[in-house]
């Protein structure tokens, strides 16, 4: 009943107010830091592997006014990384970069022209460097690709689209880029903060194949704060570990995961450790919010799970146990059905602990859902009304289907940011971790059972 009222509400005035608020936030967050311009363009092509298909691709371009030495990135640990990841790792050794080009639709992994997928990525970079008149050439351009794995990049069509891409640049907002990099994403994901007298804007894509081991599929951080190169490279992996590496939509790690940070340096940074710490706090806040956006927008997601594991012997074991809960297909299904099946949490915790903490007794653990104790000192605390109370708690955290969310702006939006909070206290140490995950719905199956047709 609550769901029906909610759905009804979303079709009338409330939806309009929510949408206005959401768009206001996106427009405000999108304001670019100084020193950046952004362009996007679209193109059509027929994949060599599926000639009858008329496929559409977006290209997105981020350009710095001047080359910068202050850039950092973390990449997927997948043993079959995409060609752009291989090229991107090389670029990290360069003295400076000045542009990032992103395409969706095809991820450029292990497939390509006779010269190979790396050569295909380099050709696109070279075309861009020429059009932008970059004296340093293709080495100043970082390529990124996301989409179907196994198909070839339509290099000729992409190079032909480069003049339009460069000509489309503007200096106002990152929102077109957040939209341009989407694949199965329902809406753009962007977060921002002001820090150290400058600005941080970050946007990401990723709705499926999300369990980053280094970074989410594709995420970009732009800032005008003059963070030194070494400091940026030291803090970015730390921030990724506590944000993007703590989320999972489906436990599937991508071949393209890439997080890139670019600093234009237009805003000087005061010396000393305090300004750097302020910047890192703001960066972490932005990335954590963006990571939550990625989960909330996950394929078919109706509930975001927030699992806080405390009392662990180490942060790594806390994170592993949190991941085990959010990746348990059985528990994910239960959450989708608003079924407070606490036994499945215990099974997931115990299964993981049996592997990562085989010699640590955790029989005195406790579990709380939405603040209510359901397991204490090795025994379930389930009374006749537990299920009703928890059902209502799960229900209020439900998101509507994207298809049910009305939208005047070309994409739907999340009507709330509530989570299903699960707290696990192992009572076996002082370390803790917070992991976000998603439920598993019939919509997820439907989206992924016929992704490419």
CB of 2 to a copy of itself, least distance (A): 17
Residue from 15, 353, 399, 420 touching a copy of itself (CB under 8 A): that is 353
Separation of alpha carbons 310 and 308, rounded Å: 6
Separation of alpha carbons 393 and 385, rounded Å: 12
104 binds a copy of itself (CB under 8 A): no
CB of 422 to a copy of itself, least distance (A): 14
CB of 28 to a copy of itself, least distance (A): 35
Rounded to a whole number, what is the distance in angstroms from the first to the last CA of the chain? 36
Ligand-binding site membership of 216 (annotated): yes
CB of 358 to a copy of itself, least distance (A): 7
Return the H-helix or E-strand segment holding 143: strand 141-145
Structure-token match 């602990």, residue found: 353
CB of 313 to a copy of itself, least distance (A): 13
> Residue 3 to residues 6, 8, 150, 338, 386: CA-CA distances in angstroms?
5, 9, 41, 11, 20
DSSP state string for 79-140 = SS--HHHHHHHHHTTSS-EEEEEEE-SB---S--STT-HHHHHHHHHHHHHHHHT-TTGGGG
Residue from 349, 369, 397, 433 touching a copy of itself (CB under 8 A): that is 349
**Residues 268, 275: contact at Cβ < 8 Å?**
no
Residue from 336, 424, 435, 436 touching a copy of itself (CB under 8 A): that is 336
* 405-444 positions binding a copy of itself, by CB under 8 A: 440-442, 444
**Residues 296, 418: contact at Cβ < 8 Å?**
no
Ligand-binding site membership of 20 (annotated): no
* 25-54 positions binding a copy of itself, by CB under 8 A: 49-51
Residue from 120, 250, 280, 398 touching a copy of itself (CB under 8 A): that is 250
Q: Is residue 279 classed as helix, strand or coil in its secondary structure?
A: helix
73 binds a copy of itself (CB under 8 A): no
> What six digits make up the tokens of 145?
């690709």
Stretch that binds a copy of itself, among 30-38, 110-118, 221-229, 312-320 (CB under 8 A): 110-118
Q: Which has the closest alpha carbon to 181: 202, 159, 160, 205? A: 205
- Looking at the Cβ atoms of 274 and 451, the one nearer to a copy of itself is 451
> What six digits make up the tokens of 354?
């049996």
Residue 256 backbone class (left: φ over 0; alpha: ψ -120 to 50; beta: rest): alpha
76 binds a copy of itself (CB under 8 A): yes
Residue span 124-163 as binding mask against a copy of itself, x where in contact by CB under 8 A, dash where not: ------------------------xxxx------------
* 181-240 positions binding a copy of itself, by CB under 8 A: 208-209, 213
Interface size with a copy of itself, residues (CB under 8 A): 76
Residue from 285, 387, 396, 401 touching a copy of itself (CB under 8 A): that is 387
Q: How does strand 379-380 pair with strand 372-376?
A: antiparallel
CB of 4 to a copy of itself, least distance (A): 18
> What six digits make up the tokens of 273?
């450790």
- Looking at the Cβ atoms of 24 and 329, the one nearer to a copy of itself is 329
CA angle 394, 395, 397 (to 5 degrees): 70
Ligand-binding site membership of 383 (annotated): no
Axis crossing angle, helix 83-91 with helix 117-132, rounded to the nearest 10 = 50
1 binds a copy of itself (CB under 8 A): no
Catalytic residue ranges: 216
| Binding site feature residues for substrate | 183, 205, 216, 299, 448, 453
| Binding site feature residues | 183, 205, 216, 299, 448, 453
């Amino acid at each position: 009943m609550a769901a029906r009222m909610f759905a009804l509400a979303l079709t009338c005035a409330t939806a309009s107010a929510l949408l206005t608020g959401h768009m206001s936030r996106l427009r405000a967050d999108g304001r670019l830091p100084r020193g950046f311009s952004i362009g996007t363009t679209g193109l059509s092509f027929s994949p060599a592997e599926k000639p009858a298909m008329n496929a559409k691709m977006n290209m997105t371009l981020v350009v710095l006014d001047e080359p910068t030495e202050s850039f950092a990135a973390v990449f997927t640990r997948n043993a079959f990384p995409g060609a752009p990841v291989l090229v991107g790792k090389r670029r990290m050794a360069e003295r400076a970069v000045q542009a990032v080009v992103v395409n969706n639709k095809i991820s450029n992994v292990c497939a390509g022209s006779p010269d190979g997928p790396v050569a295909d990525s380099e050709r696109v970079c070279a075309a861009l460097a020429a059009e932008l008149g970059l004296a340093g050439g293709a080495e100043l351009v970082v390529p990124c690709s996301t989409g179907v794995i196994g198909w070839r990049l339509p290099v000729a069509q992409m190079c032909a689209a480069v003049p339009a891409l460069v000509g489309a640049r503007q200096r106002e907002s990152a929102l077109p880029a957040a939209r341009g990099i989407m694949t199965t994403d329902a809406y753009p994901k962007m977060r921002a903060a002001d820090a150290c007298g400058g600005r941080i804007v970050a946007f990401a894509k990723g709705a499926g194949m999300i369990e980053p081991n280094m970074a989410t599929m594709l995420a970009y951080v732009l800032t005008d704060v003059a963070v030194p190169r070494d400091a940026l490279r030291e803090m970015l992996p730390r921030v990724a570990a506590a944000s993007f590496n703590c989320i999972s939509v489906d436990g599937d790690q991508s071949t393209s995961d890439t997080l890139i940070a670019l600093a234009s340096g237009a805003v000087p940074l005061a010396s000393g450790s305090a300004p750097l710490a302020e910047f890192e706090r703001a960066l972490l806040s932005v990335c954590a919010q963006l990571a939550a956006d990625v989960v909330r927008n996950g394929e078919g997601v109706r509930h975001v799970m927030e699992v806080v594991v405390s009392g662990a012997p180490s942060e790594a074991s806390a994170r592993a146990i949190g991941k085990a809960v959010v990746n348990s297909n059985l528990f994910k299904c239960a959450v989708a059905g608003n079924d407070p099946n606490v036994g499945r949490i215990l099974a997931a915790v115990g299964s993981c602990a049996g592997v990562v903490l085989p010699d640590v007794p955790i029989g005195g653990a406790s579990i709380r859902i939405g603040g209510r104790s359901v397991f204490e000192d090795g025994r379930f605390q389930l009374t006749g009304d537990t299920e009703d109370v928890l059902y209502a708690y799960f229900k209020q955290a439900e998101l509507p289907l994207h298809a049910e969310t009305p939208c005047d702006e070309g994409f739907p939006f999340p009507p709330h940011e509530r989570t299903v909070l699960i707290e696990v206290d192992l009572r076996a140490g002082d370390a803790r971790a917070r992991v976000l995950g998603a439920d598993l719905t019939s919509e997820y199956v439907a989206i992924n059972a016929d992704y490419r047709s």
